[in-house]
Amino acid sequence: MLDKNSSLVPEQEIPVVRVKDKRFRVFIPYEDIQERIRIMAAAMTREYEGKKPIFLSVLTGSFMFAADLMKHINIDCEIAFTRLSSYSGTSSTGKVEMIMDFREEIKDRHVIILEDIVDSGTTLSRFLPILEEHQPASIAIATLLIKPEALKYKLDVPYVGFRISNEFIIGYGLDYDGAGRNLKDIYQVVEA
């Protein structure tokens, strides 16, 4: 578990990158991400043995997480992708639409949603009812990151990689205005 005071590598060695107008420094190194993912995958493998689950990766942010996680899922399973859009003039009226439908039939199937990060929880709390319309046998949420202080909805998230403080992060699939998704590690914004 990490909080904003955590330092995984000595301060002077922390690489800083510039993305657009902001500076970011390494927050969770790639190796730590991989270690957590292996633990998450082991738990899922135990839980879903014999259930032939469908992992549903929410694009774009979760593509790296999904790819790395799946390598450690050693049971019969499928992967599908969806893309959600949140039209939120204000956060309270935020509406979520599925702009890329998944073709797999999920009726009576066990679905594990793969998310990069749960922030306010708006996206998932709006997406769950849409998914439930397809009558899956079960739905579970797996997220690499969660910001518990930012959470505005009651969400059951059984699989969490890292609980982090309320700061903006990029890398490993997460973007700042479209940039930074390709970074191997997770970076935290450095306040000017």
Catalytic site positions: 119
What number of helices (H) and strands (E) belong to the chain?
Answer: 3, 10
Choice from 65, 81, 102, 116 touching ligand IMP (CB under 6 A): 116
Per-residue binding string, ligand IMP, 172-191, x by CB under 6 A, is: --xx----------------
Residue 61 interacts with Mg ion (CB under 5 A)? yes
**What one-character DSSP code corresponds to residue 12?**
G
Q: Please, which residue, 105 or 167, has the CB nearer to Mg ion?
A: 167
Residue 42 CB, shortest distance to Mg ion, in Å, is 24
Q: Please, which residue, 12 or 90, has the CB nearer to ligand IMP?
A: 90
Please, which residues bridge with residue 142 across strands? 114, 159
Choice from 57, 64, 113, 119 touching ligand IMP (CB under 6 A): 119
Per-residue binding string, ligand IMP, 43-72, x by CB under 6 A, is: ------------------x-----------
**What one-character DSSP code corresponds to residue 119?**
S
Q: Please, which residue, 68 or 119, has the CB nearer to ligand IMP?
A: 119
Q: Following DSSP, what letter does each residue of 58-105 receive, concatenated?
A: EETTTHHHHHHHHTT--SS-EEEEEEEEEE-SSGGG-EEEEEE---S-
Whether residue 80 contacts residue 55, with contact meaning beta carbons closer than 8 Å, is answered with yes
Q: Residue written as tokens 């998914």?
A: 131
Residue 157 interacts with ligand IMP (CB under 6 A)? no
Rounded Cα gap, residues 22 and 24, in angstroms? 7
Q: Which residues bind Mg ion (CB under 5 A)?
A: 61, 116
